[in-house]
Amino acid sequence: MILRPSEEGFFFNWNEHMKTYGVGILGFGTVGAGVIETLQLNGDLIAARTGLRIEVRRVADLDLDRDRGVKVDPSIFTRDAMAVIDDPAVDIVVELIGGVKTAREVILKALRAGKPVVTANKALLAEHGDELYAVADESSADLYYEASVCGGIPVIRSLREGLIANHIESMYGIMNGTCNYILTRMEQENLPFEKVLADAQTRGYAEAEPSLDIDGIDTAHKAAILASLAYGFPVPMEAVHVEGIRGLDPLDLRYAKELGYRIKLLAQIRHHADGIEVRVCPTLVPLGHMLASVSGTFNALMVRGDVVGDTLYYGRGAGRLPTASAVVSDLADVARNLASSSNLRVPALVRHGEYGKMKKLEDLESCCYLRMSLKDHPCVLAQVAQVLGENGISIASVIQNKPGEGCDYAPVIVVTHRAPEKKFRQALRIIDALDVVGARTIRMAIEDFE
């Protein structure tokens, strides 16, 4: 017999016999409150879709007084995270404490107790993933972390399940909403970096201490996690080259546009025959490319697989509810695993050991955008071009400008062909020491996605 939606008795009977899994939430901050709100809002729908019920049974935080805008039975609150893990009513532990020290301890304790863990903690995974993934394996306990990269966008799931048939050739991501918001407003309103940062802080789009975001570290954490998944080994943070957007000049956004590009803080992950490249830096992206259309606090990840070709995933990379959407999707997966005793169905990280070598930063190749400050004299460009040429860097195009009134130096934009990092460093060390050069040359990568 085919059951139809109109026969509603079917739905309610099923509900009665539904297995229920208890969740303990460690860290009752923005995202923790979002997870509770999401389960309150859509718990019935999730139960209908999975045939399983997810119930928040304990919530731990040091501050239990602040109003989080969500109703919770006060009897489930505690200040003791460890007690939550030990509670037999808690089947799944959600770590939303953040930071590296306590978060690591509670996750290790939960995994060792055989309890599956869901976390959104990118810093912890990027820095201690090696240890956590191994303990999860040894303990046969699930460790899920969809919310750690690109918030609500299901990129982890897409990468390791949806694209499982693919060697990942490259990934390019706009993965920090704060930076993308700042760059979008700087470009659209022609404002200096500091002014937009201050405004972003007022609006709550940037932290009071913004360095994790604007210096590219948060993006690098996410890039390391993605690269680890794609290539089957924990990519060490030391091997990730990171540059942020601090002090970026709106001038460069304007010149980039003239050249047909937009500047994005781009995570770049590439597979080369001699190693994996992972870097994060302000990068010129062609205006016509999908990634150039990602504006404001939105995130996007482009994944290039050898079978599927280019795919792209876009959405909100942070925020109370988008992040909660990812955490709850992991809870549903873990609950399904518990219900069918298929823990480690998708291990936290499969070491497939196919790759493992990291490419050295100095060997990474890119096309570059150079903004030089040169004395306004006919021979100067020849002098600079010669240094570039001697270092194996060939020029694709040049825009020469007139100096501002009362100024001896003019901005000159040079777009180069592909050359290795060490050559750029050598050449610019020489160029910036020339007496015809008025200020340190600004350099950014150009990515044409070819």
Instruction: Looking at residues 113 to 132 of the shown chain, list those that interact with a copy of itself (rule: CB under 8 A).
Output: 130-131
3-class DSSP assignment, residue 301: strand
3-class DSSP assignment, residue 231: helix
3-class DSSP assignment, residue 275: strand
Question: Which helix H or strand E contains 174, and what residues bound it?
Answer: strand 168-174
Q: Is 251 in the site for a copy of itself (CB under 8 A)?
A: no
Judged by CB under 8 A, the chain residues 309 through 328 that form the site for a copy of itself are 309-316, 321-322, 324-326, 328
3-class DSSP assignment, residue 122: helix
Judged by CB under 8 A, the chain residues 331 through 390 that form the site for a copy of itself are 332-333, 336, 340-342, 345-346, 350-356
Q: Is 286 in the site for a copy of itself (CB under 8 A)?
A: no
DSSP state of 160: I
Judged by CB under 8 A, the chain residues 50 through 89 that form the site for a copy of itself are 50-51
In sequence order, what are the beta bridge partners of 411? 373
3-class DSSP assignment, residue 153: coil
Q: Is 48 in the site for a copy of itself (CB under 8 A)?
A: yes
Q: Is 448 in the site for a copy of itself (CB under 8 A)?
A: no
- Between the alpha carbon of residue 194 and those of residues 40, 215, 368, the distances in Å are 40, 14, 25
Residue 119 has a CB neighbour count (10 Å cut-off) of 28
Q: How far apart are CA 226 and CA 240, in angstroms?
A: 12
Sheet holding 143-144, edge to edge: 77-78, 52-60, 19-26, 92-95, 117-119, 143-144
Q: Which residue's CB is nearer to a copy of itself, number 305 or number 411?
A: 305
Stretch that binds a copy of itself, among 5-13, 79-87, 170-178, 218-226 (CB under 8 A): 5-13
Chosen residue from 139, 148, 329, 373 binding a copy of itself by CB under 8 A: 329
Q: Is 305 in the site for a copy of itself (CB under 8 A)?
A: yes
Q: Which residue's CB is nearer to a copy of itself, number 136 or number 197?
A: 136
Chosen residue from 22, 29, 98, 162 binding a copy of itself by CB under 8 A: 162
Q: Which residue's CB is nearer to a copy of itself, number 246 or number 336?
A: 336
Q: How far apart are CA 239 and CA 355, in angstroms?
A: 14
For the bound state, the minimum distance from the C-beta of residue 374 to a copy of itself, rounded and expressed in Å, comes to 37
Q: Which residue's CB is nearer to a copy of itself, number 23 or number 428?
A: 23
Chosen residue from 55, 105, 161, 189 binding a copy of itself by CB under 8 A: 161
Helices (H) and strands (E) in the chain, counts: 14, 17
Contact 93, 116 (CB under 8 A): yes
Q: Is 197 in the site for a copy of itself (CB under 8 A)?
A: no
Q: Which residue's CB is nearer to a copy of itself, number 268 or number 329?
A: 329
For the bound state, the minimum distance from the C-beta of residue 428 to a copy of itself, rounded and expressed in Å, comes to 35
Contact 229, 349 (CB under 8 A): yes
Q: How far apart are CA 158 and CA 387, in angstroms?
A: 46
For the bound state, the minimum distance from the C-beta of residue 326 to a copy of itself, rounded and expressed in Å, comes to 8
In sequence order, what are the beta bridge partners of 402? none
Q: How far apart are CA 299 and CA 152, in angstroms?
A: 10
Stretch that binds a copy of itself, among 159-167, 185-193, 255-263, 372-380 (CB under 8 A): 159-167
Chosen residue from 85, 97, 153, 427 binding a copy of itself by CB under 8 A: 153
Q: How far apart are CA 356 and CA 359, in angstroms?
A: 10
- Between the alpha carbon of residue 230 and those of residues 28, 166, 168, 358, the distances in Å are 32, 9, 6, 13
Q: Which residue's CB is nearer to a copy of itself, number 292 or number 395?
A: 292
Chosen residue from 13, 165, 208, 379 binding a copy of itself by CB under 8 A: 165
Q: Is 148 in the site for a copy of itself (CB under 8 A)?
A: no
For the bound state, the minimum distance from the C-beta of residue 42 to a copy of itself, rounded and expressed in Å, comes to 6
Q: How far apart are CA 272 and CA 429, in angstroms?
A: 28
For the bound state, the minimum distance from the C-beta of residue 163 to a copy of itself, rounded and expressed in Å, comes to 7
Q: Is 425 in the site for a copy of itself (CB under 8 A)?
A: no
The residue from 222, 264, 375, 422 that is catalytic is 222
Q: How far apart are CA 357 and CA 252, in angstroms?
A: 34
Q: Which residue's CB is nearer to a copy of itself, number 174 or number 380?
A: 174
In sequence order, what are the beta bridge partners of 118? 94, 144
Q: How far apart are CA 139 and CA 83, in angstroms?
A: 20
For the bound state, the minimum distance from the C-beta of residue 379 to a copy of itself, rounded and expressed in Å, comes to 44
Judged by CB under 8 A, the chain residues 205 through 234 that form the site for a copy of itself are 232-233
Clarify whether 101 is annotated catalytic.
Answer: no
Q: Which residue's CB is nearer to a copy of itself, number 210 or number 305?
A: 305
* Residues designated as active site: 222
